Amino acid sequence: MASQPDRDTPHLRNLWYFALPGAKLKRAKMTDTVLLGEPILLARDSQGQPFAIRNICPHRGIPLTHGRFDGAEVECGYHGWRFNGEGRCTAIPSLTEDQKLDVNRIKVRRYPCREVQGNIWVFFGDEDRDTGYPPEVPDIGDQKPKLVETQVFACEVDHAVVGLMDPAHGPYVHAAWWWRSRRSMHEKAKTFAPAPLGFQMVRHKPSSNSAGYKVLGGEISTEITFKLPGVRVEHIRAGQHVLCNLTAVTPTGEGTTLVNHAIYWTQPWLTPLTPVFRRFAKTFLGQDRVMVTKQQEGLRYNPNLMLINDADTQAKWYYRLKKEWQRCQTEGGDFVNPVKETVLRWRS
Ligand code: FES
Ligand SMILES: [Fe+2]
């Protein structure tokens, strides 16, 4: 059975999005980005707290990142208006003593911003509909990631997400002796269950064609969870230890998507291998990025696309989850997870 993916659905609101690896934002520094089509100034104050405000000066519209940040307030580079981390204006230098303008009433939009397990997340939506917390990786406490690989994909967010959860591209896109190849392809059956705002490939022993897992040592099992808006957590148990891959997809501007891949582990002996893991992450993500770039050459002609059983069932769930989230946001009511427990079978 084939079906046509939904096109052009708006970005999901009232959710937390991965903005930046925390290590990329030093104390008393600011940086500019575009997330969900909105210009954002991300900064870390001198106490170490990150914040996010709209990167447009309300006076004449210049991006505030062209100004200065002293670790507490941002000063616009054009006329020196100052804004604090709440986005509130604190000073307009051109005002004379007797000119009574309540500068505090001038604001730039502030976005809820949190740093969790070493990554900075921003909430997009109505603050009073904030459903809680950015996604967390289980069993690693407040550890920071050992490494984060960031790449920009030249595609809409849906293609990046669907590409990440696609089980059939591995032997073609990521073929490698230590991972998998066409010759090692075999039939697989995996049990899936609904999970909060998503679904989960329930804990199982990894495929026999994934030699890469062996370096972890101990009895190995893995569980993969996907959650809206586009966050995948692979939780690998290896004996007493844990290795987790967090992949988060965030739409940026027109037709581009930010993909962040963070790796955490508790095995101390893996730490000297960090450069090797970094290389693998770069290669892996790069292979996906190259593929979606090539895909754009075809998508330009707006072809009909297919989602087939069972290899594309996770992609179908993603579109259904999105639709249900949208319904909830517009009509209200509880989110009803459309995923039912099931076994999916494919060859890879
Ligand atoms: S444009 Fe920012 S202070 Fe005038
Ligand atoms: Fe991939």
pLDDT at 176: 74
Question: 81 CB under 6 A from ligand 1?
Answer: yes
Is the per-residue pLDDT at 2 higher than 90?
A: no
Site to substitute for ligand 1 among 53, 54, 62, 69, most atoms within 8 A of C-beta: 62
Q: Which ligand is nearest to the CA of 283?
A: 2
Is the per-residue pLDDT at 187 higher than 70?
A: yes
Q: Which fold has domain 15-129?
A: Rieske Iron-sulfur Protein (2.102.10)
Query: Mean pLDDT throughout 127-156?
Result: 91
CB neighbours of residue 152 within 10 Å: 13
pLDDT at 5: 52
Whats the size of the chain, residue-wise? 348
Is the per-residue pLDDT at 267 higher than 80?
A: yes
Site to substitute for ligand 1 among 41, 54, 56, 57, most atoms within 8 A of C-beta: 57
pLDDT at 127: 82
Give dist(CA 69, CA 65) in Å, integer.
8
Question: 66 CB under 6 A from ligand 1?
Answer: no
Is the per-residue pLDDT at 7 higher than 60?
A: no
Most confident of 8-12, 130-134, 314-318: 314-318
CB neighbours of residue 128 within 10 Å: 6
pLDDT at 9: 62
Categorize the per-residue pLDDT at 1 as very low, low, confident or very high, splitting at 50, 70 and 90.
very low
Q: Which tokens belong to 348?
A: 């890879």
Give dist(CA 242, CA 240) in Å, integer.
7
pLDDT at 218: 82
Give dist(CA 266, CA 71) in Å, integer.
33
Query: Mean pLDDT throughout 312-330?
Result: 96
Q: Comparing C-alpha atoms, which of 69, 148, 55 is closest to residue 110?
A: 55
Give dist(CA 284, CA 278) in Å, integer.
10
Q: Which tokens belong to 239?
A: 């004996």
The ranges assigned to domains in the chain are: 15-129, 147-347
Q: Comparing C-alpha atoms, which of 13, 235, 299 is closest to residue 130?
A: 13
Site to substitute for ligand 1 among 76, 92, 108, most atoms within 8 A of C-beta: 76
pLDDT at 44: 98
CA dihedral angle for residue 64, residue 252, residue 135, residue 54, rounded to 10 degrees: 20
pLDDT at 129: 76
Site to substitute for ligand 1 among 78, 83, 106, most atoms within 8 A of C-beta: 78
Give dist(CA 62, CA 273) in Å, integer.
44
Q: How far is the CA of 101 from the centre of ligand 2 (A)?
A: 55
Query: Mean pLDDT throughout 110-133?
Result: 90
Give dist(CA 124, CA 14) in Å, integer.
5
Question: 60 CB under 6 A from ligand 1?
Answer: yes
Q: How far is the CA of 79 from the centre of ligand 1 (A)?
A: 5
- Residue nearest to ligand 1 atom 4, measured at CA: 79
Give dist(CA 314, CA 343) in Å, integer.
11
CATH superfamily of 147-347: Naphthalene 1,2-dioxygenase Alpha Subunit; Chain A, domain 1 (3.90.380.10)
User: Tokens 């995948």, residue?
Assistant: 232
Categorize the per-residue pLDDT at 208 as very low, low, confident or very high, splitting at 50, 70 and 90.
low
Alpha helices in 126-273 (DSSP H): 157-164, 170-173
Higher pLDDT, 218 or 90: 90
Burial of 24-48, coded b for 16+ CB within 10 Å and e otherwise, reads ebeeeebbebbbbebbbbbbbbeee
Is the per-residue pLDDT at 209 higher than 60?
A: no
pLDDT at 211: 64
Is the per-residue pLDDT at 286 higher than 70?
A: yes
pLDDT at 202: 97
Task: Indicate the residue type of 282.
Answer: K
- Between the alpha carbon of residue 143 and those of residues 46, 78, 87, 119, 263, the distances in Å are 21, 40, 30, 10, 11
Query: Mean pLDDT throughout 7-20?
Result: 86
Question: 68 CB under 6 A from ligand 1?
Answer: no
Query: Mean pLDDT throughout 286-304?
Result: 96
Is the per-residue pLDDT at 233 higher than 50?
A: yes
Q: Which ligand is nearest to the CA of 80?
A: 1
Angle (CA) 78-52-33 rounded to 5° is: 70
pLDDT at 3: 46
Ligand 1 atom index nearest CA of 61: 1
**Helical pair 274-299 and 157-164, crossing angle rounded to 10 deg:** 130
Question: 74 CB under 6 A from ligand 1?
Answer: no
Strand residues in 174-252 grouped as ranges (E): 187-195, 198-204, 220-227, 231-238, 241-251
Lowest average pLDDT, out of 15-24, 101-110, 132-141, 241-250, goes to 132-141
- Residue nearest to ligand 1 atom 3, measured at CA: 79
pTM of the model: 0.94
Q: How far is CA 237 from the centre of its chain?
A: 23
Q: How far is CA 93 from the centre of its chain?
A: 39
Categorize the per-residue pLDDT at 79 as very low, low, confident or very high, splitting at 50, 70 and 90.
very high
Question: 64 CB under 6 A from ligand 1?
Answer: no
pLDDT in tens, 62-72: 999 999 999 99
Return the biggest CA–CA distance within the chain.
Answer: 81
Is the per-residue pLDDT at 74 higher than 60?
A: yes
Give dist(CA 160, CA 232) in Å, integer.
12
Is the per-residue pLDDT at 105 higher than 70?
A: yes
Q: Comparing C-alpha atoms, which of 273, 283, 295, 314 is closest to residue 179?
A: 283
Query: Mean pLDDT throughout 14-36?
Result: 97
- Residue nearest to ligand 1 atom 1, measured at CA: 60
